[in-house]
């Protein structure tokens, strides 16, 4: 099994043009169906299996759902022209306390799909000028354009999808 680098160790580059916006919307809209395909037919005991006191595959899926309100809050930060993005709980207490392994996987998947589609619809409703707006990311301590934030979310999605894939198929 290969080792996926921890998310907080990832170094992302934001040197791309704002014009990749449609690509990012497509990626973000595609995360729920990719997640659903990834876990389709996987037995519940495999989805909820924990190793080394780390999250199970189902908890990783739940974590994506747990972060959707943060994503919406950060979209509102850009829309309002706030200088800094809403901070997250770096300890991920919401995911640790959510009991995702006791929830039906189908409910997690359907809730994530609904929340993500709401997120992408909100993005699409903004005037394209907002894509170049900047705000400081609280953990990274860098100025991030709105389009950079969308890339950040897409990369975070892919990080967890890769982790789930490795847990289930690696």
Secondary structure of residue 103 in the 3-state scheme: coil
Select the more confidently predicted residue: 62 or 128.
62
pLDDT of 61 reads: 98
- Could you read off the pLDDT of 72-130 as tens digits, one per residue? 999 999 999 999 999 998 888 999 898 999 999 999 999 999 999 999 999 988 888 88
Distance of CA 3 to the CA centre of its chain: 20
Beta-strand runs (E) in the chain? 134-137, 142-145
- 3-state helix vs strand vs coil in the chain, percent to 5: 65, 5, 30
pLDDT of 153 reads: 97
Q: Which residue has tokens 């580059």?
A: 13
pLDDT of 71 reads: 97
pLDDT of 11 reads: 81
What pLDDT band is residue 8 in, cutting at 50, 70 and 90? low
Residue 53 has pLDDT above 90, yes or no: no
Average pLDDT over residues 16-38: 94
pLDDT of 2 reads: 60
Percent of the chain scoring above 90 in pLDDT? 75
Domains located in the chain, CATH noted: 28-169 (1.20.120.450)
């Amino acid at each position: 099994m290969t080792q996926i680098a921890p998310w907080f160790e990832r170094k992302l580059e934001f040197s791309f043009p704002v014009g990749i916006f449609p690509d990012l919307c497509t990626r973000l809209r595609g995360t729920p169906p990719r997640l659903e395909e990834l876990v389709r037919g996987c037995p519940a005991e495999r989805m909820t299996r924990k190793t080394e006191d780390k999250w199970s595959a189902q908890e990783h899926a739940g974590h994506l759902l747990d972060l959707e309100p943060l994503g919406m809050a950060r979209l509102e930060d850009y829309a309002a022209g706030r200088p800094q993005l809403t901070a997250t709980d770096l300890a991920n207490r919401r995911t640790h306390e959510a009991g995702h392994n006791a929830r039906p996987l189908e409910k997690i998947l359907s809730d994530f799909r609904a929340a993500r589609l709401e997120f992408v619809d909100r993005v699409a409703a903004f005037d394209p000028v907002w894509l170049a707006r900047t705000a400081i990311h609280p953990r990274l301590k860098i100025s991030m354009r709105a389009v950079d934030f969308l890339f950040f979310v897409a990369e975070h999605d892919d990080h967890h999808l890769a982790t789930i894939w490795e847990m289930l198929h690696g």
